[in-house]
Amino acid sequence: MAKEIKEVEKLLEAIAAFESMEDDAECTAAVSLVLKSMPTYQASLRELRQRRVQALRAMDMTWPQIAEIIGGITPERAQQIAKGHSGASRKKAKNAE
């Protein structure tokens, strides 16, 4: 990421800090706790991103502009994010066809 965002840096530093834990049992317990919590955090982050994409759209940004902000996605995917469609739900819908 060319322009590293402060919050992203902090999150990555926190994850990297597990490596420096000396007690193997303590590290294992800590990492396990985080991994168990990830589904909840993933859902929360997706919802936050969806709200923010909707806010950008309400400010008259185009789908290509929003896709560029997100990075590595198409304008069509930006629209899907705004509607709350996750990759998993798109795959389920495709497999149901």
Query: How confident is the model at residue 6, as a pLDDT?
Result: 93
Q: How confident is the model at residue 63 (pLDDT cuts 50, 70, 90)?
A: very high
Cβ contact 78:63 at 8 Å: yes
Token pair for 91: 């795959």
Q: Is 67 exposed, middle or buried (0-12, 13-18, 19+ CB in 10 A)?
A: buried
Q: Give the start-to-end residue ranges of the domains of the chain.
A: 6-96
Q: Is 70 exposed, middle or buried (0-12, 13-18, 19+ CB in 10 A)?
A: middle
pLDDT at 88 over 90: no
Cβ contact 69:56 at 8 Å: yes
Query: How confident is the model at residue 1, as a pLDDT?
Result: 43
Q: Is the pTM above the cut of 0.95? A: no
